[in-house]
Chain A
Amino acid sequence: MKKNESYEEFIKGIWRDNPVFVQVLGMCPMLAVTNSAVNAIAMGLATFFVLVGSSFLVSSFRNWIPKQVRISCFIIIIATFVTVADYTLLALVPTVHKELGAFIPLIVANCMILGRQEAFASRYPTRLAVMDAMGMASGFMLALFSLGAIREILGDGALFGMNLFGTNFEPWIIMILPPGGFLTLGVILLFFNWFKLKKDEFLAEVAEAERSSR
């Protein structure tokens, strides 16, 4: 039972409540840094670190933080993790840090992270909060990666910098420019909503069939 519960908290962030495709949160980094798969993964990892770390601390201290100052406390915790991520990336992978630029410090303003603290981590035990954060962050990373991979393949004819199509491929430069981000995200959201519609229809049909067979 307990095991299932934490599994459920993890898996919901990846699919059912995916922060990007279902909740449509965190759009700013989503559109800005997904022009290549490597950037998307680096951004995803940084966000993962910040979200899991903050959720752990917020959940551990949830009984000590007075509600009047909770948002300020969450922001202090998030900002500290963001600064740690910022300097670590700058020291270890300066080239990636250069590409991501201002968007690393801007993780502070990612509403998905503050949203998880307020909606989940500040109300649930630490174990569940960490599972929830890991699920949400993985869902976010998955979303970033799918956008980044699609845009890099179409816009640059490559994935992780490796050329896929040879010299005959004419890259769709628009895909690595900002409009490409909107186009790709729009198509993916279209797919997600269509899938949800079909699933609901299917479930309704099953329920109907069960009722009539009774």
Chain B
Amino acid sequence: MTSARHTGTASPSSLRLVLTLAIAGLISGVAIIGIYESTLPTITANKARELREAVFKVLPAVSQMQALVHRDGELVAAEAVAKDEPVVYGGYDENGGFVGYAIPGAGPGFQDTIGLLYGYTPDQKLVVGMEVLESRETPGLGDKIYKDADFVAGFSALSIEPEITAVKSGTKSQPNEIDAITGATISSKAVVRIINETHADWTQRLPPPGAEPRLTETEPAGPEVER
């Protein structure tokens, strides 16, 4: 404390201290609101685009999608999805014919929650694709659940009845088995467990094959934000 300012004997009034902080806080608040409002549309659009891309990735041959929610005992197309409301995405081909569901699931991995999306075709009872949306698995080991192309490709035609089992790498013999990744067994098993649990959770709520909700005319569906 060498400068004259810091050793000054006359201390400013409390009012001045309060005012200084209040003004600083006010300006800061306005700046934060400004940046929040100006970036929000881009951020929401990014999230919606990411979700669309993920849905199209896990459901091959799909070109349209809509969000579906389970309300009053049946699966219906949702205009707006409430936060925390369980949702699946219906994928449709160019003519509006139903192809399959993209179902989001989440559960504990090795480090933190793994969030993923998998494609499911109810008529064949097959998992047709899997995409990890969110994970903090160990770089170089656990992150192979989305970096290892062979493992991801293993989910492209996987029988889910009675349930998926992860087996030692290279020993897959049944249609419902998948080769776990050497060195990332816990993360591979976590992915399989999340899909099994999510499937068990949804399977009662999905309508019988052929009775899926029709594509509503108001495309684009899902939490898309108009720019």
Contacts and interface: CB of A to CB of B under 8 A. Distances in A.
Nearest to B136: A101
B140 A94 contact: no
B21 A69 contact: yes
Contact of B140 (A66, A84, A171): A171
A16 interface: no
B46 interface: yes
Contacts of B141: 173
Interface in A71-99: 72-73, 76-77, 79-80, 83-84, 87-88, 90-92, 94, 98
A91 B42 contact: yes
B35 interface: yes
A155 interface: yes
Given A80-B31, A91-B39, A35 B139 contact: yes
B20 A84 contact: no
Interface string B25-61: 1011001100110010011001100100000000000
B28 A91 contact: no
B138 A177 contact: yes
A176 B139 contact: yes
A76 B24 contact: yes
B73 interface: no
Contact of B35 (A73, A83, A98): A83
Interface stretch (B3-11, B91-99, B210-218): B3-11
A156 B139 CA distance: 9
A66 B31 contact: no
A72 B27 CA distance: 14
Q: Is the interface of B mostly helix, strand, loop or mixed?
A: helix
Interface residues of B, number: 30
Contacts of B6: 67
B208 interface: no
A98 B17 CA distance: 39
A173 B137 CA distance: 13
Interface string B113-137: 0000000000000000000001010
Nearest to B44: A91
A77 B28 contact: yes
A62 B139 CA distance: 45
Contacts of B134: 98
A173 B140 contact: yes
Interface in A15-62: 35, 62
Given A66-B17, A66-B20, A80-B32, A177 B139 contact: yes
Interface in A152-201: 155-156, 171, 173, 176-177
Nearest to A35: B139
Contacts of A79: 28
Interface of A: 35, 62-69, 72-73, 76-77, 79-80, 83-84, 87-88, 90-92, 94, 98, 101, 123, 155-156, 171, 173, 176-177
